[in-house]
């Protein structure tokens, strides 16, 4: 048996999958109707929307298999995400890569497999729309086009989920996307006594930018601020645009002193970026910084509210 290779850029692929926050969620009709269509259209007993994470392939939609996931190292979909086109195995028993695969020699007794990669707009392959049969099979050219079309439908549904948690202007997380991940991180830090610090930020003099240079330039300032957040902060830091000119960062395993140093570097990077882009105005921010005492702030909402209040106090002192 040949285990699937690791794709180039695996870290960014896994981050895109994690950011979607879809793994281990409940079945949804938007995906189930597509796998039902695939099952009927290709006359196969099994159709799946399969998402490939570090160690497994997990089924967001599953018809014909009594399982929610299988190990990645025996998955067919792990091979499918290595390419751009449909990965097709006409007879797994005749293919030395899969003949002794446990999914072939045992349940669900795969003989035919065809999986089309599910790709994000940024080119990250999250998994596949795949169809499986217990007898050998071959897809025609028209069949391949039809499977491609159905995969596009799945990609559109995934993109819709992404849009629901992503700020349209800046392409970083919006409030909803941040809260989905922040609730998990907050609970983990509280449970394991890991230091957690939250920074609530507000652009300084944002209204004058809009008034003097126009709303298009105001939008440009927000995009530049968000892009610098993406560049300056660590992969472990959660950050988002909460609305208007307000942003937030959650620093896990970080105390207030270390978070202050990170924010100071960010401010320096932001000034350099503004200079590089030859902005006619300074790009500065005020912030409230809260190292969370979990006994005093038992929820992410209470901690965010306090960080927000600290930010406004800091901003008031600057006037």
Q: Is 2 inside any structural domain? A: no
CA–CA separation, 119 and 239 (whole Å): 24
Name the band, by pLDDT with cuts 50, 70 and 90, for residue 122. confident
* pLDDT of 40 higher than 60: yes
Instruction: Determine the pLDDT at residue 180.
Output: 79
Q: Which of 124, 86, 118 is nearest to 9 (CA)?
A: 124
Q: What is the CATH number of the domain that holds 98?
A: 3.30.450.40
Instruction: Determine the pLDDT at residue 116.
Output: 98
> In sequence order, what are the residues at sequence separation of 6 or more whose Cβ sits closer than 8 angstroms to the Cβ of residue 56?
69, 70, 71, 72, 75
* pLDDT of 45 higher than 80: yes
CA–CA separation, 135 and 180 (whole Å): 42
Instruction: Determine the pLDDT at residue 317.
Output: 55
pTM score, whole prediction: 0.66
Q: Is 5 inside any structural domain? A: no
Q: Are residues 182 and 161 in the same domain?
A: no
> In sequence order, what are the residues at sequence separation of 6 or more whose Cβ sits closer than 8 angstroms to the Cβ of residue 19?
162, 165, 173, 177, 181
Q: Are residues 15 and 161 in the same domain?
A: yes
Q: Is 1 inside any structural domain? A: no
**What is the side-by-side order of every strand in the sheet holding 46-52?**
69-71, 56-63, 46-52, 125-133, 112-119, 87-89
Q: Are residues 66 and 213 in the same domain?
A: no
Please give the mean pLDDT across all residues of the chain.
Answer: 93
Q: Is 3 inside any structural domain? A: no
Instruction: Determine the pLDDT at residue 316.
Output: 60
Q: Which of 112, 131, 165 is the last residue of a domain?
A: 165
Q: Which of 111, 134, 165 is the last residue of a domain?
A: 165
Lowest-confidence segment of 90-94, 184-188, 223-227, 287-291 by average pLDDT: 184-188
Q: How confident is the model over 287-299, as a mean pLDDT?
A: 95
Q: Are residues 71 and 217 in the same domain?
A: no
Instruction: Determine the pLDDT at residue 160.
Output: 86
Query: Containing domain of residue 205, as a range?
Result: 175-318
Q: Are residues 149 and 27 in the same domain?
A: yes
Higher-pLDDT residue of 318 and 33 is: 33
Q: Is 233 inside any structural domain? A: yes
Instruction: Determine the pLDDT at residue 285.
Output: 94
* pLDDT of 178 higher than 70: yes
Q: Are residues 137 and 210 in the same domain?
A: no
Q: Is 4 inside any structural domain? A: no
Q: Are residues 17 and 98 in the same domain?
A: yes
User: Over the stretch 188-237, which tens digit does the pLDDT of each residue have?
Assistant: 899 889 999 999 999 998 999 989 999 999 999 999 999 999 999 987 78
Q: Are residues 290 and 184 in the same domain?
A: yes
Q: What is the CATH number of the domain that holds 198?
A: 3.30.70.270
Q: Are residues 134 and 235 in the same domain?
A: no
Percent of the chain scoring above 90 in pLDDT:
81
The number of domains in the chain is 2
Q: Are residues 21 and 154 in the same domain?
A: yes
Higher-pLDDT residue of 313 and 316 is: 313
Strand ranges, E, within the chain: 46-52, 56-63, 69-71, 87-89, 112-119, 125-133, 196-203, 238-243, 246-252, 285-291
Q: Which of 124, 147, 165 is the last residue of a domain?
A: 165
């Amino acid at each position: 048996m040949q285990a699937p290779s690791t794709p180039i850029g695996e870290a960014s692929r896994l981050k895109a999958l994690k950011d979607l926050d879809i793994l281990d969620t409940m079945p949804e009709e938007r995906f189930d109707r597509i796998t039902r269509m695939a099952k009927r259209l290709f006359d196969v007993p099994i159709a799946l929307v399969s998402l490939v994470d570090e160690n497994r392939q997990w089924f967001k939609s599953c018809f014909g298999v009594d399982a929610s996931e299988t190990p990645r190292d025996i998955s067919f979909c792990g091979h499918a995400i290595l390419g751009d086109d449909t990965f097709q195995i006409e007879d797994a028993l005749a293919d030395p890569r899969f003949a002794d695969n446990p999914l072939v020699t045992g349940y669900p007794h795969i003989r035919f497999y065809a999986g089309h990669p599910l790709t994000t707009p940024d080119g990250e392959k999250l998994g596949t729309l795949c169809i499986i049969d217990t007898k050998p099979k071959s897809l025609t050219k028209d069949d391949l086009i039809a499977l491609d079309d159905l995969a596009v439908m799945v990609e559109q549904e995934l993109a819709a989920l992404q849009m629901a948690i992503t700020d349209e202007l800046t392409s970083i997380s919006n409030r909803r996307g941040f809260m989905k991940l922040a609730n998990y991180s907050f609970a983990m830090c509280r449970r394991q006594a890991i230091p957690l610090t939250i920074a609530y930020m507000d652009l300084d003099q944002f209204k004058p930018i809009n008034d003097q240079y126009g709303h298009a330039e105001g939008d440009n300032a927000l995009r530049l601020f968000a892009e610098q957040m993406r560049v300056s902060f660590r992969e472990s830091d959660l950050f988002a645009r909460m609305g208007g000119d307000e942003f937030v960062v959650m620093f896990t395993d970080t105390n207030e002193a270390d978070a202050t140093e990170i924010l100071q570097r960010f401010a320096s990077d932001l000034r350099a970026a503004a200079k590089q882009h030859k902005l006619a105005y300074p790009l500065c921010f005020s912030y409230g910084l809260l190292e969370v005492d979990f006994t005093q702030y038992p929820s992410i909402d209470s901690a965010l509210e306090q960080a927000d209040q600290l930010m406004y106090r800091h901003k008031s002192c600057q006037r």
